[in-house]
Amino acid sequence: MPKFLFFTYIFIFGSMIGSFLNVLIYRIPRGLGVVWERSSCPHCNMKIPFYLNIPLLGFIFLRGKCRNCKESIHWRYPFVEFLLGCYFIFTFPAVFSPMSIVQWSLIVAIFSILVCHFFIDIDYHILPDRLNLGLLLVSSLYAFLFLNWKDAIIGGVIGFIFPFLISYIFYKLKGIEGLGGGDIKLWGVLGLILGGSGIIQNIFLSSLLGSVIGGSILLIKKENKNYALAFGPYIILSYLLQFHFARFIPSFIKLF
């Protein structure tokens, strides 16, 4: 099979997964079913026919608007589909890294759950427990099969206990929550993959990103100092930097 055709199939498969992730991102925080209910326009509730629900192509055919009510389709839908298609290609074993299909499958499953977390946290400031539970199962299996399980356990404990203690002390001193429970659980789960030293680096990097990027966003939006910042995306971005560009992280940290 020609390489171009092979990668096209991988991209299509990834974009299909991205389409399903869009369903999860929209429905999970609203408490809606994610399996049996057909996709519909969030504005007019018109059911979307299958031939207009094709990843990326449906958005292009509709010119970014609902066929019925003409409301704009959110940019996130094609973006997530395109993102997953690209991620599937650039992490596939035959492209850049010698890994098994099982390892690759777990890696893209972890990434998929994190993408859902990323956008749900931005919109609702929550990291749903059902996603964290799924992430725990996949991450535990990945750590058991491909990592040092002792270091994974240490990372999980540090990832959960350290942020929990910081949040508890902050609550006792200030009377408000410094970190959400979802953030703490997410750190605990990612600690299984990153290990002890890796999760400490993640806590530093995500705090740095949150301070620089999040602080800048708050200044631009002119929010008050008590505005709750979605912190999960910075944890996730830091994890992805560590997982895919680990060799650059120590040098980056030394700059600070």
Rg (CA), the chain: 20
Give the pLDDT band (50/70/90) at residue 251: very low
* CB-based contact 210:218 (threshold 8 Å): no
Determine the 3-state secondary structure of 26 from DSSP: helix
**Residue 224, number of CB atoms within 10 A of its CB:** 6
Instruction: Summarize pLDDT for 61-80 with one digit per residue, the tens.
Output: 888 888 888 888 889 999 99
The pLDDT of residue 249 is above 60: no
Q: What pLDDT is stored for residue 98 in this prediction?
A: 65
Question: Which pLDDT tens digit goes with each residue over 11-20?
Answer: 999 999 999 9
**Distance between CA 189 and CA 68 in Å, rounded?**
43
Q: pLDDT category, 256, cuts 50, 70, 90? A: very low
CB burial string 54-70: b at 16+ within 10 A, e below: bbbebbeeeeeebeeee
User: Which residues are within 8 A (CB) of 216 and not within 5 positions of it... i.e. 6 or more apart?
Assistant: none
